[in-house]
Structure 1
Amino acid sequence: MPAKDIYHNCVKIALLKDGWTITDDPLSLKVGQKDIFIDLAAEKLLVAEKQGVKIAVEVKSFVGKSEIEDLKNALGQYYLYDKILKYLNSDKNLYIAIRKAVFQRLSAETIGQIILSDQNLKLIVFDPNLEEITRWIN
């Protein structure tokens, strides 16, 4: 089982505060002979629709020596996990959870704007001090 990201519990608390129920911590997937672990899975009941929305969340800290290297790794992991969820016909939408400060830095730079313009990338932006979600990007 992989080590938890330093902001794992912070994102978990933020999701709970936002009305989500944590269903898996971590979400374990079997693909052939390989075991894949996504940090969290959660579900939220939408009363108006009488059905639930299900998500899988990969938490990324961006505390490495190179933010570009962290970005490459996060996007590669997102792409891999998204493909696996689709292959397994999962009903979960995949999100990357990143800190508000990281999101602000990325969105201020050209490379970040290029990445954030991708309509397939789903993000949860969270404030680690308040342990709250500040933005959903679908």
Structure 2
Amino acid sequence: MPRLDIYHETVKHALVKDGWTITHDPYKLTIGKKRLFADLGAEMLLSAEKGMRRIVVEIKSFTGVSDVNDLEQAIGQYVLYKQIMETANRA
């Protein structure tokens, strides 16, 4: 299991306060035999006719030595997670 970001509970609380239901903590992603974890999965009822809106949240605090390295890692995770979810949705 991944280590929680220092803002994990704060973000989780803010999502719930905004009307989101936390569905996964953490949200598991699978690529081949590898398992990755985004921080949270959440959903919100839009209306009875429109259904549910779902999000996956990755929380980053940028507390490393270099903000640029932290940003590069965050962008890399975003691209990887997005590709995994798009591939899973096509299957």
Task: Bin the TM-score by the shorter chain.
Answer: over 0.9
Percent same amino acid among aligned pairs? Answer: 56
Residue in 1 aligned with 2:44?
44
Q: Which runs of 5+ in 2 are unaligned?
A: none
The answer as to whether partners of 2:27 and 2:56 remain within 8 angstroms in 1 is yes
TM-score of the aligned structures, taking structure 2 as reference length: 0.93
Alignment partner, residue 85 of structure 1: 85
CA positional deviation for 1:50: 3.8
CA offset digits 1:71-118 (Å, max 9, x no partner)? 10100010000000101118xxxxxxxxxxxxxxxxxxxxxxxxxxxx
Q: Separation in 2 of the partners of 1:10 and 1:62?
A: 15
Partner of 1:118: none
Letter in 1 for 2:23: T
Q: 1:86-101 residue pairs with structure 2 within 5 A?
A: 86-89=86-89
Amino acid at match of 2:75: L
**Secondary structure of 1:30's aligned partner:** strand
Q: How many residues of Structure 1 are paired with residues of Structure 2 in the alignment?
A: 90
Alpha-carbon distance in 2 for matches of 1:56, 1:49: 22
Q: Secondary structure at the match of 2:56?
A: strand
Question: What amino acid sits opposite 2:10 in the alignment?
Answer: C
2:77 counterpart of 1:70: no
Question: What residue number does 1:57 align with?
Answer: 57
Aligned to 1:130: none
Instruction: Determine if contact 2:28/2:38 at 8 Å carries over to the other structure.
Output: yes
Q: Which runs of 4+ in 1 moved over 4 A?
A: none
What amino acid sits opposite 2:62 in the alignment? F
Q: Tell me the residue number matched to 1:26.
A: 26
Looking at structure 1, the residues matched to 59 and 37 of structure 2 have their Cα atoms a distance apart, in angstroms, of 12
Distance, in Å, in 2 between the alignment partners of 1:80 and 1:29 is 10
Q: Residue type of the partner of 1:4? A: L
Unaligned runs of 5+ in 1: 91-138
